Amino acid sequence: MNPVRKILFVCSRNQWRSPTAEQVWRRHPGIAARSGGTSANARHPVSIEDIRWADVIFVMEEKHKNRLQANFRQALQGKPLYVLDIPDQYRYMDAELVQILQQAVAGILQLDED
């Protein structure tokens, strides 16, 4: 039995991109997914508990990685952190965004897209 991998998805306001990623991947067997935002006014601002919980972290843009490193440098030590390079041009569950997230995350984690 494979252990569950805990994946945290991060964008700015936790409104469209990261919640879409959470929704897409939470149904995959062996994955537990959460999402958060780097902005103080995010729907769910990323917390130290989110960082500690995650086995792997995906951010949508380089600026999100920089913000996480500025705020959670110590907690990020040794955690894989990937920049997906997905611009803020999609709505929640946009078909193109879903496809990009499925392909990118599956490729990095070597998973079936399901």
* Ranges of each domain in the chain: 5-109
Pick the CATH number of 5-109 from 3.40.50.2300, 1.10.3720.10, 3.30.2130.10, 3.40.50.300: 3.40.50.2300
| 49, two tokens | 């508990």
Contact 72, 48 (CB under 8 A): yes
pLDDT at 15 over 80: yes
Overall average pLDDT of the 72-88 stretch? 97
User: For 93, phi and psi rounded to 5 degrees?
Assistant: 60, 25
Contact 18, 7 (CB under 8 A): no
The residue among 18 and 111 whose pLDDT is bigger is 18
The percentage of residues in the chain with a pLDDT greater than 90, rounded to a whole number, is 89
Overall average pLDDT of the 86-108 stretch? 97
- Does the pTM of the predicted model rise above 0.85? yes
Contact 59, 71 (CB under 8 A): no
Residues 44 and 34: their CA atoms lie apart, in Å, by: 10
Contact 9, 33 (CB under 8 A): yes
